[in-house]
């Protein structure tokens, strides 16, 4: 499950912050653009209106008879007021206040504008923008005034800068506020995720703080109620499992003593089997076999109960895998005709308890000998930090839907029920392996035989370049 499926804790927070930032950026940007548009339009209209007022005053003060001297006096007086360049047209003559200002610089719509009305146009001259306003003077002359728009453009540029800087500051502030709001808003969600993780890890007393009067408090209360119910149910299951383990241990322990006596009696009876009449001999044979099976079952139940209770601490040591397997196979009774081939990398060792190791290998090999084919192979190789011991038989294999159930306690397939056994051997093998930090897995479909893989912690690295040891048991 792991980490690949876990939600990234900051992804939704980033999305919420980004959404808040986007709304703030768009809204503040739209407001800035609208502010600039309205302000720019207002200032341009104000500038044009002021220019028209200036022209009206200038036309009212224009000389009644226009000549060079009167134009110069008018321009001198007007320059003191506004510093505006002027061009006048009368009788085919052109009067100008600047040498660089000519008839070609005046827009035609201003020169030929309607009488008794002011004509307005915009033009660019010598790298500067001008508002050009023209009107008729008292002597019929046409006066044209050039109002520089540099100051207006500078003020609009300053306004744009202020609005851009303000927008950037608003966006930055929105990012900080959005992050803070997202963090505070999602804190209950984070707390719930951490609480759920803690409960999943076994800390069943973990609870969420119930504060506030909003929906998150109702959520926290519901979560805590669920945790209380879950804790109560788990406690109940634990008590039931403990009672079941205790019952199994008590029954197995109480049966152990009488079964030991029965087993001794069965052995004596078996030695005298040839002296019994035929009908009694058959009954005695069944009795001896069932007593042995019952004794094995009780011993397996005792072993499982001790494993469940972790009554026996693991005492690992460094075991030579080849020697440990050889010793184990020497003690495993094999049916006639069943052979075991062993292949172990030289120098391979595991960190395990000797008795548990033998129990694992003996149970799996014994199971393969009874339910598998006539050939069993045991090979061990280094697998990272572990040693993989594979036990393969050439039997009919196991269906995929039953592959994991073979490790269930008392599980037997239909074909195995008539072959004896308690159905606990593989479960005991897996429990021992897990107690030592390893595991037992099964692979092999129908017709391919069954392969049990035992993984145990490696005690030392194998020595490269050496051939594996191969031994055959018949």
pLDDT in tens, 300-346: 777 777 777 777 788 889 999 999 999 888 888 887 878 888 888 88
- Bridge partner list, 130: 123, 148
- Mean pLDDT, range 230-258, rounded to an integer: 74
Q: Which two tokens stand for residue 66?
A: 């226009």
Quote the percentage of the chain above a pLDDT of 70.
87
Burial class for 388, CB neighbours closer than 10 Å (0-12, 13-18, 19+): middle
pLDDT over threshold 60, residue 419: no
Q: Is residue 76 packed enough to be buried (19+ CB in 10 Å), middle (13-18) or exposed (0-12)?
A: exposed
Name beta bridge partners: 387: 382, 456
Contact 228, 274 (CB under 8 A): no
Nearest to 332 by CA among 368, 296, 305, 297: 368
- Rounded to whole angstroms, the Cα distance separating 261 from 269 reads 12
Residue 207 CB contacts under 8 Å (≥ 6 apart), including other chains: 195, 223, 224, 227
Q: How far apart are CA 360 and CA 428, in angstroms?
A: 8
pLDDT in tens, 69-93: 888 887 777 766 666 788 888 877 8
pTM given for the model:
0.50
Other beta carbons within 10 Å of 205: 9
pLDDT per position as a tens digit, 170-203:
888 888 888 887 777 777 777 777 888 887 777 7
Q: How much of the chain exceeds pLDDT 90, in percent?
A: 9
Lowest mean pLDDT among 30-34, 86-90, 395-399: 395-399
Q: How far is CA 402 from CA 9, 78, 246, 357, 410, in A?
A: 39, 108, 29, 25, 13
Q: Is the pLDDT of residue 470 over 60?
A: no
- Cβ count near 378 (within 10 Å): 26
Highest mean pLDDT among 215-229, 314-328, 396-410, 431-445 belongs to 314-328
CA 35 vs CA 41, 164, 267, 417, 446: distances in Å: 10, 11, 107, 89, 79
């Amino acid at each position: 499950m792991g980490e690949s499926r876990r939600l990234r804790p900051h992804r939704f927070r980033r999305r919420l912050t980004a959404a808040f930032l986007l709304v703030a950026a768009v809204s503040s940007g739209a407001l800035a653009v609208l502010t600039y548009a309205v302000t720019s339009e207002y200032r341009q209209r104000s500038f044009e209106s002021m220019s028209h007022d200036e022209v009206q005053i200038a036309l009212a003060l224009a000389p009644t008879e226009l000549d060079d001297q009167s134009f110069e006096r008018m321009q001198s007086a007007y320059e003191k007021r506004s510093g505006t360049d002027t061009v006048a047209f009368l009788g085919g003559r052109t009067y100008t206040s600047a040498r660089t200002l000519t008839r070609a610089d005046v827009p035609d719509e201003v020169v030929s504008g309607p009488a008794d009305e002011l004509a307005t146009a915009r033009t660019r001259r010598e790298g500067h923008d001008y508002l050009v306003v023209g009107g008729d003077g008292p002597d019929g002359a046409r006066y044209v005034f050039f109002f520089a728009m540099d100051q207006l453009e500078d003020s609009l540029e300053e306004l744009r800068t202020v609005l851009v800087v303000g927008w950037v500051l608003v966006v930055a502030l929105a990012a900080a506020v959005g992050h803070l709001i997202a963090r505070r808003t999602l804190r209950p969600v984070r707390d719930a995720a951490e609480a759920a993780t803690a409960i999943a890890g076994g800390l069943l007393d973990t609870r969420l703080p119930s504060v506030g009067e909003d929906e998150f408090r109702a959520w926290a209360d519901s979560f805590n109620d669920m945790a209380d119910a879950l804790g109560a149910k788990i406690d109940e299951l634990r008590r039931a499992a403990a009672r079941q383990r205790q019952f199994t241990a008590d029954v197995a322990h109480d049966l152990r003593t009488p079964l030991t006596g029965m087993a001794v009696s069965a052995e004596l009876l078996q030695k005298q089997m040839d002296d019994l009449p035929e009908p009694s001999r058959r009954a005695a044979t069944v009795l001896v076999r069932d007593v042995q099976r019952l004794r094995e079952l009780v011993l397996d139940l005792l072993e499982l109960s001790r494993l469940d209770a972790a009554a026996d601490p693991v005492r690992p040591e460094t075991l030579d895998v080849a020697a440990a397997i050889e010793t184990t196979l020497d003690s495993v009774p094999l049916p006639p005709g069943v052979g075991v081939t062993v292949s172990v990398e030289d120098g391979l060792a595991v960190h395990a308890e000797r008795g548990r190791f033998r129990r694992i290998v003996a149970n799996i090999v014994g199971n393969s000998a009874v339910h598998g084919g006539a050939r069993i192979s045991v090979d061990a190789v280094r697998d990272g930090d572990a040693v993989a011991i594979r036990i393969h038989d050439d039997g009919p294999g196991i269906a995929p839907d039953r592959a994991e159930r073979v490790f269930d306690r008392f599980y037997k397939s239909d074909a195995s029920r008539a072959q004896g056994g308690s159905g606990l051997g593989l479960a005991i093998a897996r429990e021992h392996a897990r107690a030592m930090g390893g595991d037992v897995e099964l692979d092999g479909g129908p017709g391919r035989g069954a392969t049990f893989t035992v993984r145990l912690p490696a005690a030392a690295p194998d020595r490269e370049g050496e051939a594996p040891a191969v031994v055959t048991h018949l």
